[in-house]
Amino acid sequence: MNRKLNSNQDELVTATTTTKLGKIVKIKLDYKKESQLIHSIKITGDFFLHPEETIDQLEQGLCGVKLEKNDLKNKIQLLLKDSEFFGFDIDSLVDIILGTKGDENKI
């Protein structure tokens, strides 16, 4: 996993990670350090998600969600309920997002 952390004066933290879960999943995460709320998220990789616009809906829908396992899992399940995806599962995606925070194994 590659991790890079930068923070600016308003405590917005940017973190990125790339993980192989059968397919490659790359997360770019901006979140508020104190509140742990997602400010923005970009999910890319060689996974498949149908319909294609679901990825945009997922990224937009995760903004404002707290970086906690149950909150993320419930929101992702809701956002992906009518979608088909291959290359990751919801639990793994949640773990990658939480791991991207850099709380574990910071470089």
Give the pLDDT confidence of 52-76 residue by residue, as tens digits: 899 999 999 999 999 999 999 999 9
Q: Is residue 22 part of a domain?
A: yes
Higher pLDDT, 9 or 15: 15
Q: Which of 34, 26, 38 is nearest to 1 (CA)?
A: 26
- 13 inside domain: yes
Print the domain residue range for 90: 4-100
Tokens 């790359």 -> residue: 26
For range 27-51, the mean pLDDT: 91
Task: Domain count for the chain, please give it.
Answer: 1
* Residue 32 covered by a domain: yes
Residue 105 lies in a domain: no
**What's the whole-model pTM score?**
0.79
Q: Is the pLDDT of residue 26 over 60?
A: yes
- Residue 80: give its domain's CATH number: 3.30.390.50
Structure tokens at 80: 């992906």
Residue 89 placed within a domain: yes
Q: How high is the mean pLDDT of the chain?
A: 83
Position 10 in a domain: yes
pLDDT at residue 97 tops 70: yes
